[in-house]
Each structure stands twice: as C-alpha cells, then as structure tokens.
C-alpha cells in the first residue's frame, strides 16, 4: 500500500492539461484490433510520460455521466516490458492489457498506461527481484529484500489525467483494492470495481497466489499445490467455480486456439491445475470420482469461453473414464503416471486386426481423433472377424496426419491417425461390447458409480452441452452489443432502444431457455437410471433423452442464428467471438449426437414402442 503525502492527496487542486492527442490503431498478436485516442499531458505530479488511451465511445460516456448512467470503464495498467511486449508468463500483465482494451472498447472508457515498471521499482530492479523469486521468495518479499517497498506505485498522476477529461466518476477494471482505495482518496468516485479475468499459467501461479493472499487481490485460484498432489476432492460447486474462473481467459485465447488448431499450452496448464481432467477418474487412482451432472456442467461452462476447448476437454475427460473401464493390467500401465492419462479415441472408420502370437497386428486410418494433440495414448476401434475391438496404443507408435482444416471447431485439432501392422499386446485389446457394458471389467475394480454407466450415455453428452454453452455466450455478447451499438438509418441512440431489436433479443433468449430445458431434461432422464443395477434404459427412456439432446442442439443453433442476423456486419470479422461461435455450432450440428434425421426416426420408434431398427447401443 502506498502512503500518499498531503501535498499529492488532492490532485484536482493541481490540474493538468492535455498536450497532444493522436489516433492509433491497435492490433494484438491474436488478431484483435481496436482504435485508441492516445493522449499526453502537461503538469503531471511525478513528471513521468504517462499515457491515456480513449477507447470505444469514450466521448459519449463522458457526456452521459450521471448517477443513473453507467460511468466510463477505466483500467490503470502499470507498464510491464516483459509481459506487455515479450509475452512473459511470470506475470499476468500482458493478458490483462489485452483483456482491458477489448472490455473498455466495447463500452467506452479509458486505459491509463502508467510508467511504473515493477510496481514502481523499475525494470532492472524488477529483474533482480525475479532472480530472488527463483530462490523461493514471493514477489513482495523479493522487492523488500532489495531494499524497496512492496508496492511503490502512486496513482496521483492517474487521478490528474482523469480529472483533465472530466471523468470524476468511473467503473474501475481491477482486482487490486489498493487502486480503488488510492483513487477514492484522491477524489475520484469509483462507482464499481469490475474484476479482471484470472490469467493463470504454470509460471505465474505462485505470483498470483501471492497477490491474492498478501494484498487481497480478488482472484479465484486453485491451490498452489496442484489438486493432483493432494487428497482433497472438490465438491460439484468447487470444481465449477474453478472452471468458471477460467472462462475469461478462454475467451481471450479463443483466436489463438483457432490459429494453433489445438488448445494453447497455457490453457492446458490451467485446466490441469484446476483438476478438470481427473473429474471422472476413480478415487482409487487419485481421481475425483464425480458423476455425469458435474461433467456435463463443466463442458457447458467451458463452452461459454471457447467451444473448441470445451469439445476437446470434454472428450479427454471422458476418455479417462473409458480407461478406467479396462482390466487391471491395462489400468496399471496407463495410470502409472497419475490420475488423468490423456487419450484420444476414434472409431471412424474402424481399422483391421489380425491375431498374432501375444496379441494383434492392427492397420488402418482413423479420423476425428479429438484430443489427439494433447494425448499420450489412443483408443482405436478395429474389426477382428465379427468382433469389434478397442485397442489401447501409445500415441508415439502411430502416425499423426495433419488434416484438421475446418470451418468450425478448428481449435480441437481432431486430426487423423494411421498405423500399418502395428503390434498391440493382448492385454491392451478389449472387446467393444465388454468395454461399453455396465458390468465392464473396470466396474469390478472401482466402486465409483459412474464406471457402471453404459458408455454410450457419456458419448452423446458432449456436443449438446457445448452447443448450449456456446449459445449462452452468444446471448451475453448480443446483449452487450445491443446496449452500445448505433444502427445506421435509425433514430435510436442505441440498438437496444429499438422495439424490433428488443423482440429479436427476446426470441433468442427464449431459444436459449428452450435449449437449456431440453438439455436439463436429458440429464435428468440419464441420471435417474444410475440407481439401477445394472444401469439400463428402456427404449422409451433412450428415445426421450436422445430426442431432448437433439432438440436442445437445434434450439441452441437457432438462438445463434437469430443473434448473428441482428448483430450487423462487424461481427463477421474473424476477431469477433460471435462469428466463431456460429461456425463452431454449425459444425457441432453435424455430429452424430445432434444429427436430427436419424434421431427423429429412431426416437419415434422408441416412443411408440416399435423397437429400434439399429442396436440400441448405437443410438
């Protein structure tokens, strides 16, 4: 906490003036762009070259100021050369800068770029502090060890710049209570403190934890010790809270995820730190042993940040659950390194298997290997005579074919795999019927209820959950757009004032509500079967939950269509989340779990008690 002297505690007694203003187009590495009005000042208290960036409709927000109107959104961002320029992951400064520009540009306000490197101790001293942190000190202890203050920043100049523009009442984008406290003491009315996202990586976890515990930053983090190394099993609400904290960062990285065609390493680190991948792993191997309801809620929540990430993570989590259904010898092998072995799984089309001494020789080319870019193992379907097998193969023994170039879900990296006469030992080949059944080999090893659930139940859940989460995200973005967008050739100040826009939003809201109700009904029907032994569905129940999932997907897609139609041409830029959501949902609708023609046909037969024309396990 900085202690201010009486001479600088009242900056409005020492007003400053704008010395220059210039328009600067901004573009970030992930493709996001914005336009800023960059201002410099005469008379700042500390004599430094601080900048103020006016973003979005900042002039209008100043004109609209009043107790009943939203105040300008403001971010005080302290210069960080290592994070802002070089992309260092030892801090969260670069991601916060990127996030702030987008958030402020959407509603109108100011980003103040303050020349206070290293919390005011300077660049060289900050790097010296990094060296001390490598010996075990936290970020504050390192500053003190150098003979400096824990935080030497002073926000007098920031208050002066805001005063020069007449921004006496603001909404402050920060997790740091000291910023709000200093500004309030300097005469700025902080009407609201808006939290930033939690930009977590393996490299900055201790840094963020120190900010949370030492200076009361409002940051939700998993334990500094990874959940994989503790005995604590989170509750349903706790794991969802961890995932919800990741959503802003997933949104920020969505463009990068598409460009890479896989989940970024930093996101994978955050997901692992949150314990997401061990949700369905049995408790006996160090997992959480959670059920379907938690699993699908996590997928839905992740999709509110990035649909590609939700899809890949949903399948990777599900595949851990599939590995726990295998006999003991295979489980000993895959769970040897921890409770969440990552595996891709694909059966389209199945390969061919020939029995050889000690196992099988398999050949084939398998498509749609979701999660393959992050996996150590692959679960491959093969045909041996009339028997369908699943083979567990180290990914290093397979050829990865880079073919995933798609309109949507690009970030899933669901590439192809190929093998020719690859030997698979007998203990890593299992009949599909045995693996998929409620009384699978793993169910004799683990008491966790989810291991006793027929496999097709979970396989059908990912796409509808991802579609629903995507539609909910789209509705949120649409609402923001309506509140600030001025439509050409209309008299309304903003789109939200148009009765037609209000009707469109209501329609989209209704479609999302419909999608949610159908989805919740499907989850209810499936969950109701868990108490049975063996777990099994009647044809009517199977038809009911599959139909509800399909209708949920349809309603989600219709909501997104309505939103895109009413959002103007700018949302079709590749940097805009709404166009990405539209493309992702369009691809989701082509997945077998959401393709309506076969769903309607088989569901009709099941509801009318006519019997399915395909094996029930395939529906």
Q: Which residues are catalytic?
A: 151, 153
Q: What is the DSSP string of 270-313?
A: HHHHTTGGGSSS-GGGT-----HHHHHHHHHHHHTT-HHHHHHH
Whole-number Å distance between alpha carbons of 616 and 571? 42
CA distances from 191 to 169, 323, 572 (A): 6, 52, 34
| DSSP E strand boundaries for 483-603 | none
DSSP label of 201:
-
The beta strands (E) that lie in 439-592 are given as none
Q: Give the C-alpha distances (Å, rounded to integers) separating 374 from 145, 212, 271, 525.
A: 40, 31, 12, 33
- Under DSSP, is residue 539 helix (H, G, I), strand (E, B) or coil? helix
- Report d(CA 131, CA 121) in Å as an integer: 15
Listed in sequence order, the residues at least 6 apart from 270 whose beta carbon sits closer than 8 Å to its beta carbon are 200, 201, 246, 249
Read off the DSSP letter of residue 67.
T
- How far is the C-alpha of 236 from the C-alpha of 594, rounded, in Å? 27
Residue from 225, 228, 264 nearest 246 by CA = 264
Spatial CA neighbour of 101 closest among 133, 54, 147: 54
The first and second tokens of residue 57, run together, are: 């409709």
Task: State how far the alpha carbon of 203 is from the alpha carbons of 103, 266, 269, 581, in Å.
Answer: 25, 9, 9, 30
Q: Which residues contact 408 (CB under 8 A, 6 or more apart)?
A: 307, 580, 582, 583, 584, 585, 586, 587, 588
Residue 477 structure tokens = 């973005």
Contact at 8 Å (CB) between 132 and 140? no
Give the separation between CA 592 and CA 176, rounded to whole angstroms: 47
- Take residue 547 and report the two structure tokens written for it: 């139909």
- Which residues are 26's β-sheet partners? 34
| CA 500 from centre of chain | 32
Give the integer Cα–Cα distance in Å for 92 and 99.
11
Residue 574 φ/ψ, nearest 5 degrees: -65, -20
Tokens of 450: 């989810």
Please count the residues of the chain: 619
SS3 445: coil
């Amino acid at each position: 906490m900085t202690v201010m002297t009486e001479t600088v505690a009242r900056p409005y007694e020492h007003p400053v003036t704008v010395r220059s203003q210039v328009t600067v187009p901004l573009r970030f590495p992930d493709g996001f762009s914005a336009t800023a009005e960059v201002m410099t000042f005469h008379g700042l208290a500390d004599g430094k070259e601080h900048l103020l960036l006016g973003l979005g409709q900042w002039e209008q927000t100043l004109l609209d100021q009043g107790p009943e109107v939203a105040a300008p959104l403001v971010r005080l961002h302290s210069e960080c050369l290592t994070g802002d320029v070089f992309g260092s992951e030892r801090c969260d400064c670069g991601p916060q800068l990127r996030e702030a520009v987008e958030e402020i540009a959407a509603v109108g306000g100011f980003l103040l770029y303050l020349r206070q490197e290293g919390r005011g101790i300077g660049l060289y001293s900050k790097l010296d502090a990094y060296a001390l942190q490598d010996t075990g000190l936290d970020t504050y202890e390192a500053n003190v060890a150098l003979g400096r203050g824990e935080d030497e920043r002073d926000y007098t100049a920031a208050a002066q710049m805001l005063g020069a523009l007449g921004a006496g009442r603001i909404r402050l984008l920060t997790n740091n209570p000291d910023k709000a406290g200093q500004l309030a003491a300097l005469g700025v009315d902080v009407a609201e403190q808006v939290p930033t996202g939690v930009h977590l990586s393996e490299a900055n976890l201790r840094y963020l934890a120190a900010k949370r515990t030492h200076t009361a930053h409002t940051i939700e983090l998993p334990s500094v010790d990874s959940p994989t190394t503790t005995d604590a099993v989170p509750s349903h609400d706790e794991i969802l809270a961890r995932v919800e904290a990741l959503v802003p960062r997933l949104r920020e990285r969505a463009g990068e995820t598409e460009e890479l065609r896989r989940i970024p390493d930093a996101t994978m680190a955050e997901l692992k730190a949150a314990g997401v991948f061990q949700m369905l792993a049995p408790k006996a191997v160090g997992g959480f042993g959670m059920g379907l309801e938690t699993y699908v809620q996590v997928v839905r929540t992740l999709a509110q940040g990035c649909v590609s990430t939700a899809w890949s993570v949903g399948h990777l989590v599900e595949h851990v659950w599939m590995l726990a259904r295998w006999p003991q010898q295979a489980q000993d092998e895959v769970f040897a390194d921890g409770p969440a072995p990552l595996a891709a799984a694909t059966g389209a089309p199945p390969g061919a298997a020939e029995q050889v001494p000690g196992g099988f020789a398999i050949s084939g080319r398998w498509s749609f290997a979701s999660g393959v870019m992050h996996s150590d193992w692959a679960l491959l379907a093969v045909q041996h005579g009339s028997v369908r097998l699943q083979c567990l193969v180290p990914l290093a023994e397979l050829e990865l074919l880079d073919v995933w170039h798609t309109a949507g879900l690009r970030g899933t990296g669901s590439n192809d795999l190929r093998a020719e006469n690859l030997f698979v030992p007998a203990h890593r080949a299992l009949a599909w019927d045995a693996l998929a059944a409620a009384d699978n080999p793993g169910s004799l090893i683990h008491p966790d209820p989810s291991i006793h659930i027929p496999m097709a139940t979970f396989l059908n859940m990912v796409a509808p959950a991802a579609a629903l989460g995507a539609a909910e995200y789209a509705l949120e973005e649409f609402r923001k757009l309506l509140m600030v967008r001025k439509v050409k050739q209309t008299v309304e100040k903003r789109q939200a004032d148009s009765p037609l826009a209000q009707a469109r939003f209501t329609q989209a809201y209704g479609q999302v509500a419909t999608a949610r109700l159908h989805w919740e009904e499907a989850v209810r029907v499936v969950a109701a079967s868990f108490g049975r032994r063996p777990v099994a569905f009647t044809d009517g129940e199977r038809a009911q939950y599959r139909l509800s999932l399909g209708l949920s997907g349809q309603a989600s897609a219709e909501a997104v269509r309505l939103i895109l139609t009413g959002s103007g041409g700018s949302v079709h830029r590749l940097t805009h989340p709404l166009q990405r959501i539209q493309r992702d949902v369009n691809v989701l609708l082509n997945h077998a779990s959401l393709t309506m023609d076969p769903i309607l046909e088989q569901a009709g037969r099941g509801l009318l008690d006519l019997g399915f024309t395909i094996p029930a396990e395939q529906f």
